[in-house]
């Protein structure tokens, strides 16, 4: 391995680390992808211009409560001033982390909330159906922080005070972060998410408190005890749609490209079975019949074209990905070296070439050049022709180093989620044509044009390589149809696959009190919901899904550094028919943060399961 410099990761409140320049790079594994998705949660309100139009709700108001007259014995419906929708326990969820959304008013128990006095003018808002309270997820102070339901711990992140607005409306201000509960950009869609933003007294931050027993159609009144369930079974008519599948989803189609990137319904990358692989060292790569290895490519782009034509790297250039292998090598050696090694892998002394997946993740670094970093900086950077020119030049050089290798590229994890937070990707400005008139001159100057350009460039300069647009739909549980629409606008149908991830860290890590005590272990129900989403997205663009950065923990671990528990490996290998039925073409395992379980520390679990899978003949793609 060729060592490269590393720096410390950046921690984030609530345990969701930012993508960090971590010690994985010194191990020759590239940059790990620690999610931004739960911190981001579609920052539509952050980006939207203030001054939303005030829209009266369609339901008449009865006995509206003011801040000083909240009755802690009364169950209320909370009606948003901008949208007319009410605060809703999505799908009658009754688990920690259950979603909170807006929905058309039915008056059901899952739309009723009690204000529990927490002292000093603060209240905890308890849902009548679940018994859980509103919670600033992960004690976040970030704009767009997610609002969920959680067991009542009486934490400051679960306490809200009421501020008056006009006409009897109030704003709910979180005690911990000082932010207001709002419907971002006043979306009127059923299932619209709820988030916390700075208090600007917008109509989408104003709520009317309507006593549930003052109107008809309130549904089951249930009990006022803290963990009460309805006295009769409640049907989740408000927030549990019968199907998350969009009505306009396009049917799956055969691939338009016939190269080895292989996107027919039953073949991918030359294989007709689900591929298995991950991020691992040399010894692990030879210990089982793995199909794929992956690594990260990221850094700020080279400052001049001299970097691309130099015979050798210079010591001062080793922070750039093209010179990660040191000054004794030519620029780009990191890519050509890893590709060559994968092609020469063996198993039991017999040659068994492996494919390579590159996670191209450099817009985050371009955002740094724009002076703002995550999200805002990235969107700002793509609208600067000087920065986008450097970025696209770097991308072209990367593709040229891949050349005719049979690789895969996971293009810009999370960035498309930032784009989606702004609305229509066609309306997000990007200087595409000015930055690269040769390759992108026919594209529009938008984020959608950039996505299409990146896909087209991959097909042009690395013709045997499959280009995958990363699936960054952080709101998939509430808004799958919008995700389908947005990815069609981005041109995902022109890509060869969709890449996405399950979780950035082991569930056992998240379960630790120091990391939030959250439940990210899978149940059959949770797994089925995620697989259904992947299937919907695959069928909407007619391309398979690659699951990437899957946590490696297992039940035999002891929840210490490098040995956290999880259940994704065991669940996926024991449900491979469901995996294939969801149009998942590859399962790629790896940690998203340096404390997590790895292929090398999981006690041989992934290696043993991969050997058994290979011996079984594999699971056919569908």
Q: Do 433 and 302 fall within a single domain?
A: yes
Domain assignment of residue 331, yes or no: yes
Residue 60 belongs to a domain with what CATH number? 2.80.10.50
Domain assignment of residue 232, yes or no: no
Matching residue, tokens 């689900």: 274
Of residues 47 and 581, which shows the higher confidence score?
A: 581
Q: Do 275 and 194 fall within a single domain?
A: no
Domain count, the chain: 2
Interval 427-447: pLDDT, tens: 999 999 999 999 999 999 999
Domain assignment of residue 252, yes or no: no
Q: Do 482 and 542 fall within a single domain?
A: yes
Number of Cα atoms under 13 Å in the Cβ half of residue 605: 25
Identify the helix (H) or strand (E) that includes residue 533. Answer: helix 524-541
Q: Do 309 and 171 fall within a single domain?
A: no
Residues whose CB is less than 8 angstroms from the CB of residue 279 and which lie 6 or more positions away in sequence, other chains included: 29, 30, 32, 293, 294, 295, 549, 588, 589, 590, 591, 598, 599
DSSP conformation class of 89: E
Q: Which residues of 296-334 are buried (b: 16+ CB within 10 A; e: fewer)?
A: bbbbbbbeeeebbeeeebeeebbebbbbbbbeebebbbb
On the question of pLDDT at 78 being above 90, the answer is yes
Give the residue among 33, 138, 39, 44 at the shortest CA–CA distance from 500. 33
Q: Do 436 and 370 fall within a single domain?
A: yes
On the question of pLDDT at 2 being above 60, the answer is no
pTM over 0.85: no
Say what the pLDDT of residue 92 is: 85
Instruction: Give Cα 274 to chain centroid, integer Å.
Output: 23
Boundary of a domain, candidates 198, 214, 230: 214
Q: What is the mean pLDDT of the chain?
A: 82
Interval 133-181: pLDDT, tens: 999 988 888 888 889 999 999 999 999 999 999 999 999 999 999 999 9
> Which residues form the domain of 175?
54-214
Q: What is the mean pLDDT of residues 333-351?
A: 95
Cα dist from 31 to 283, 296, 463, 597, whole Å? 20, 5, 25, 16
Q: Do 195 and 326 fall within a single domain?
A: no
Residue 452 belongs to a domain with what CATH number? 3.20.20.80
Q: Do 287 and 177 fall within a single domain?
A: no
Q: Do 204 and 301 fall within a single domain?
A: no
Domain assignment of residue 607, yes or no: yes
Q: Which residues of 229-259 are buried (b: 16+ CB within 10 A; e: fewer)?
A: bbeeebebebbeeeebbbeebeebeebebeb
Cα dist from 99 to 193, 256, 490, whole Å? 8, 39, 27
Q: What is the mean pLDDT of residues 89-98?
A: 85
Q: Do 497 and 611 fall within a single domain?
A: yes
On the question of pLDDT at 587 being above 70, the answer is yes
Q: Do 549 and 462 fall within a single domain?
A: yes
Domain assignment of residue 12, yes or no: no
């Amino acid at each position: 391995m060729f060592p490269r410099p590393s720096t410390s990761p950046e921690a984030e409140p609530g345990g969701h680390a930012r993508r960090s320049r971590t010690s994985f790079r010194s191990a020759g594994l590239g940059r790990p992808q620690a999610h931004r998705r739960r911190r981001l949660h579609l920052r539509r309100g952050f980006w939207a211009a203030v001054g939303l139009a005030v829209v009266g709700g369609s339901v008449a108001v009865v006995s509206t409560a003011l801040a000083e007259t909240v009755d802690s014995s009364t169950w209320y419906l909370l009606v948003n001033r901008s949208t007319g929708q009410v605060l809703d326990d999505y799908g009658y969820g009754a688990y920690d982390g259950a979603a909170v959304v807006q929905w058309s008013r039915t008056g059901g128990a899952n739309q009723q909330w009690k204000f529990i006095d927490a002292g000093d003018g603060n209240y905890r808002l308890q849902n009548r159906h679940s018994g859980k309270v509103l919670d600033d997820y992960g004690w976040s102070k970030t704009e767009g922080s997610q609002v969920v339901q959680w067991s009542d711990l009486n934490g400051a992140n679960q306490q809200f005070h009421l501020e008056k607005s006009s006409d009897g409306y109030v704003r709910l201000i979180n005690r911990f972060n000082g932010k207001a509960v709002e419907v971002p950009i006043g979306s009127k869609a059923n299932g619209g998410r709820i988030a916390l933003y700075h208090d600007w007294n917008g109509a989408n931050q104003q709520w009317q408190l309507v006593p549930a027993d003052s109107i008809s159609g309130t549904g089951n009144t249930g009990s006022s005890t803290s963990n009460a369930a309805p006295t009769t079974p409640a049907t989740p008519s408000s927030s549990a749609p019968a199907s998350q599948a969009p009505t306009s989803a396009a049917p799956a189609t055969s691939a338009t490209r016939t190269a080895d990137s292989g996107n027919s319904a039953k073949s991918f990358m030359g294989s007709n079975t689900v591929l298995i692989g991950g991020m691992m060292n040399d010894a692990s790569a030879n210990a089982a019949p793995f199909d794929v290895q992956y690594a990260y490519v990221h850094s700020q782009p080279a400052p001049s074209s001299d970097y691309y034509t130099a015979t050798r790297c210079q010591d001062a250039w080793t922070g750039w990905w093209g010179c990660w292998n040191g000054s004794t090598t030519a620029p780009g050696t990191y890519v050509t070296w890893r590709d060559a090694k994968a092609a020469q892998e063996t198993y039991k002394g017999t040659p068994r070439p492996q494919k390579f997946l590159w996670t191209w993740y450099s817009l985050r670094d371009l955002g740094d050049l724009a002076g703002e970093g995550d999200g805002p900086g990235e969107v700002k950077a793509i609208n600067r022709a000087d920065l986008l020119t450097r970025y696209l030049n770097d991308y072209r050089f990367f593709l040229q180093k891949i050349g005719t290798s049979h690789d895969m590229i996971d293009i810009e994890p999370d960035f498309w989620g930032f784009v989606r937070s702004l609305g229509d990707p066609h309306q997000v400005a990007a200087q595409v044509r000015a930055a690269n008139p040769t390759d992108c001159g026919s594209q529009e100057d938008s984020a959608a044009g950039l996505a299409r350009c990146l896909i087209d460039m991959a097909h042009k300069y690395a013709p045997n390589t499959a280009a995958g647009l990363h699936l960054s739909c952080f709101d998939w549980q509430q808004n799958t149809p919008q995700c389908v629409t947005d990815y069609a606008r981005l041109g995902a149908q022109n890509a060869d696959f969709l890449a996405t991830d399950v979780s950035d860290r082991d569930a056992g890590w998240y379960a630790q009190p120091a990391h939030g005590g959250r439940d990210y272990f899978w149940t059959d129900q949770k797994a089925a919901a995620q697989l259904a989403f992947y299937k919907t997205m695959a069928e909407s663009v007619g391309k398979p899904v690659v699951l990437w950065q899957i946590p490696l923990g297992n039940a035999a671990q002891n929840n210490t550094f490098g040995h956290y528990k999880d259940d994704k490996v065991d669940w996926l290998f024991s449900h491979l028919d469901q995996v294939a039925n969801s149009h998942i073409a590859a399962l790629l395992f790896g940690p998203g943060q340096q404390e997590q379980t790895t292929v090398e520390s999981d006690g041989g679990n992934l290696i043993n399961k991969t050997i058994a899978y290979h011996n079984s003949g594999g699971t056919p793609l569908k």
